[in-house]
Amino acid sequence: MIDDKRLEAEMDALALRFPGPGGVAGVVSEGQVVALRAWGFSDLDTRRAMTAGTRLPICSVSKQFTCAAMLAACGAPEALDGRLAAHLPNFEGPLPRVRDLCNNQSGLRDYWALTVLHGARAEQAFSRDDAASVFMRMRNGHFAPGTRYSYSNGNFRLVSDLLEAFSAETLEALYARHIWEPAGMAGAVLTADTRQPEDGVVGYEGNDATGYLPADNGIYWRGDAGISASLDDMIAYERWIDATRGDPDSLYRKIAVPQTFRDGTAAAYGFGLQHSRVGDVAFTGHSGALRGFRAYRAYSAEARLSVVVMFNHHGDAHGAAHRLLRTALGLPHPAPQPLGERWGGQWMSRETGLLARLEPGLDAATLRFGTSPESLSQTADGGLASSSVTVARAGEDLLMQRAQENYAERLAPVAPVPAAGDKRLAGRYRSAELEADIVIECRDGGTYLWAEGFLGTGRPEIVQPAGPDIWIVVTRRSMDAPAPGDWTLVAERDAAGHITDLTLGCWLARGIRYARCDDNT
């Protein structure tokens, strides 16, 4: 039984614990709303209040709607397999299956991360044709289809394009007929153009330390994101999911079926849903993010419990939702424990080509490897872990396991280098894969990199030395949110010591090779 007073106290604390312009949250138990809250403002300049009826972008939470509509219209993803090659005309390796797209197992690099390397700036417009141009230039993936998990928004953009061609209907019509109308989501709409948000809602970048500024978005997206819905709409969705939980033809029940990798290993992601546990209770859910907005929803058929949290700022919607779930389940909130030893160092992953860096703290260590920093706590066996990764020492090496990605590797240590620029890195390099360039400039003691491609000329990013012939390039802002984050740049030299080639990659887009195309040696 839910402790109503404790849950209400947790709801009351959301605005202070996750500060920002505004937000909404709701908890549904056994089909009934047991807690609901809206606070703050949907527009600070006009002082328009945030309400349960304010429609906000649910961003990547849209992916499950795309997969459900696909199953309703096609029966199975295999019905679309024969259409995929036309959208990837220059792809040279084995094509993924559409099921791989739905499960984020395609190996396709994330197209939002690639926009940075095609020369895009964060605020510029990005059209439907631009998306097609990114896919047209793809020649290979960063792993073989079905062998690993890697988040790729383009997977679901492709599914939506395939679905519309197969059904001869718009995505909006498919969403409405198969999900919004049966669920009673009367206000849900597809706002593919982020320049025109519903209800005049404004998303904000920044925080209490820097202040809050309106986010300027210009992207056009559909399938991977794009739905706008109010808290009332999302509560209706959660109640519909719960009411149809015993129906074998329920669309949510179908997309919630656990998936596997090609080797038979169980996968934690499938059909736009992440499978996770809170305590001993299984949940399916998803996060969503756009510059200025954050969202999270989850449902447990076992506990008949749902949560929805949406912010018009960059607060931790996932963290807020999990506090509400733990409260509703009567679980204590985890208490930080001091680290038994000081963890710190950096290691190279041979498989991904990415640098892993551990930064020690008092009660947690920060791992910089994926898109966002991950906080790891001490485990009983002396290692470190979060919900998605475990690390342990093996001599000087680092053992890293990311079970949700079907990935485990022994990483080699990388010695740090002095914080000094290497002028031999300067020059222009070209990627045949992307048909785009990067330019590196060394000046006044600093090193900077920018990209030039079919989307324009990007802003210079700071290049930081990390190890012998290894650098870190950090992208903090991009078209999508969160931004790609840390890129690892690795140089290859000829016998004379001249840099001839570079490999650039981040967690979302790995192993992109560039060849020097100037004579600056």
Q: What is the pLDDT of residues 323-356, one digit of tens each?
A: 999 999 999 998 777 777 778 999 999 999 999 9
Share of the chain residues as helix, strand and coil, in percent rounded to the nearest 5: 25, 35, 40
**In this model, does residue 301 exceed pLDDT 90?**
yes
Beta-ladder partners of 465: 471
**In this model, does residue 135 exceed pLDDT 70?**
yes
- Mean pLDDT, the chain, whole residue set: 95
**In this model, does residue 519 exceed pLDDT 80?**
no
Q: What is the pLDDT of residue 281?
A: 97
The number of beta carbons lying within 10 Å of the beta carbon of residue 379 is: 14
By CB neighbour count within 10 A (0-12 exposed, 13-18 middle, 19+ buried), where does 338 fall?
Answer: exposed
Q: What is the pLDDT of residue 447?
A: 95
**In this model, does residue 115 exceed pLDDT 70?**
yes
Is the four-CA dihedral 94, 140, 502, 497 of positive or negative sign?
positive
Q: Residue 335 carries which DSSP code?
A: P
Q: The pTM is what?
A: 0.96
High-pLDDT (> 90) share of the chain, %: 90
**Residue range 73-94: mean pLDDT, rounded:** 97
Q: What is the pLDDT of residue 1?
A: 85
Of 73-82, 136-145, 472-481, the poorest mean pLDDT is in 472-481
**In this model, does residue 228 exceed pLDDT 50?**
yes
**In this model, does residue 425 exceed pLDDT 90?**
yes
Helix (H, G, I), strand (E, B) or coil at 235: helix
Q: What is the pLDDT of residues 40-61, one digit of tens each?
A: 999 999 999 999 999 999 999 9
Closest CA to 497 of 422, 442, 429, 438: 422
Quote the CA–CA distance of 394 and 500 in Å, as a whole number.
Answer: 34
Closest CA to 232 of 72, 95, 54, 74: 54
Q: What is the pLDDT of residue 334?
A: 83
**In this model, does residue 364 exceed pLDDT 80?**
yes
pLDDT band, residue 520 (cuts 50/70/90)? low
Listed in sequence order, the residues at least 6 apart from 109 whose beta carbon sits closer than 8 Å to its beta carbon are 138, 141, 142, 152, 154, 508, 509, 510, 512
Phi and psi of 83, rounded to 5°?
-95, -10
Q: What distance separates the 2 farthest-apart alpha carbons in the chain?
A: 72
Q: What is the pLDDT of residues 407-421, one digit of tens each?
A: 999 999 999 988 777
By CB neighbour count within 10 A (0-12 exposed, 13-18 middle, 19+ buried), where does 288 fall?
Answer: buried
- Quote the tokens at residue 428: 């222009």
Q: Residue 405 carries which DSSP code?
A: G
**In this model, does residue 380 exceed pLDDT 90?**
no
Q: What is the pLDDT of residue 226?
A: 97
Q: What is the pLDDT of residues 446-487, one digit of tens each?
A: 999 999 999 999 999 999 999 999 999 999 999 998 899 999
Question: Is 108:153 a contact under the CB 8 Å cutoff?
Answer: no
Question: Which residues are catalytically annotated?
Answer: 60, 63
Q: What is the pLDDT of residue 521?
A: 46
Listed in sequence order, the residues at least 6 apart from 211 whose beta carbon sits closer than 8 Å to its beta carbon are none
